[in-house]
Amino acid sequence: MIDVRSATVQFGGVTALKEVDLAVDRGRVCAVIGPNGSGKTTLFNTISGFVSPTAGSVLVDGRDVTRVAADGRARLGLARTFQTPRVDVEATVRETVLCGFLPSTRSGLLAALIRTPRVQREERRLATEVDELLERFGLEGHAGHRLSELPMGLVRIVDVARAMAMRPKYLLLDEPAAGLTTDEQQLLVSEIRRVAGEGVGVLLVEHNFVLVQDVSEHVVVLERGAVLAEGAPGVVAEDPRVVDVYLGVTDEDSALETT
């Protein structure tokens, strides 16, 4: 379980998070929603280790990781995507997904340079696993395409595939559905469900409440850095305070509409 305990984050005079508690269980999808600026990305960064909380703590499977850097948390099984994918746009889809596997390869650099039989076996195993992931995410037709040639929606899906290549215990997704077509969103939703079904704990930071209702078991609503409401998606959607927050923002931001 990822356990965020009373996390507070201050940036100068701005309190981006206020005493937020959050739990992400293995095998379940937990969503964090809220208007722009409500602290979703800050909470996400606090969990993944890109932001240090001013107060409070983050535990992963019972271990306090509050002072563990992001790469250390990745080794503990946390994989994340970025709201703006941090990918090399000149790399191909295949190369990008392959990169996700690299931290888990076993051979040393010298063995890799002289391509020992073990390295060759490992390369074949990786090639097969990359193919499987590409197929699973509907990317096999794009394997040789550079990311610069793809629409942003597909780049996000490539980024999710790269994160899954790390075989994480927890998958943290920051607004993965932004810019996706309806079909791509459906693909993403079914992949998120499948990933959770395999025992991965998923934290989904998302603006689009329709997608959240579709895929998550538990929803946490942030407003101005604090938890406004939480519970099952159906319950949260009917909460008048939540409706207020969403009706108080611009049309573009209003994600509660179900049409």
Ligand X SMILES: Nc1ncnc2c1ncn2[C@@H]1O[C@H](COP(=O)(O)OP(=O)(O)O)[C@@H](O)[C@H]1O
Q: State the binding partner of 14 from Mg ion, ligand X, none, CB within 5 to 8 A by kind.
A: ligand X
Which is nearer to ligand X, 1 or 226 (by Cβ)? 226
Confirm or reject binding of residue 16 to ligand X (CB under 6 A).
yes
Confirm or reject binding of residue 36 to ligand X (CB under 6 A).
yes
Helix 93-101 with 117-136: angle, nearest 10 deg:
120
Confirm or reject binding of residue 41 to Mg ion (CB under 5 A).
yes
Which is nearer to ligand X, 38 or 96 (by Cβ)? 38
- Smallest distance, Å, CB 175 to Mg ion? 6
Residue nearest to Mg ion (CB): 41
The tokens for 123 are: 């390369």
Which is nearer to ligand X, 130 or 245 (by Cβ)? 245
Q: State the binding partner of 102 from Mg ion, ligand X, none, CB within 5 to 8 A by kind.
A: none
Instruction: Tell me, by CB under 5 A, how many residues bind Mg ion.
Output: 2
> Could you say which of 20, 34, 130, 229 contacts ligand X (CB under 6 A)?
34
- Smallest distance, Å, CB 174 to ligand X? 8
Q: State the binding partner of 11 from Mg ion, ligand X, none, CB within 5 to 8 A by kind.
A: ligand X
Confirm or reject binding of residue 41 to ligand X (CB under 6 A).
yes
Which residues contribute to the site for Mg ion (CB under 5 A)?
A: 40-41
Which residues contribute to the site for ligand X (CB under 6 A)?
A: 11, 14, 16, 34, 36-42
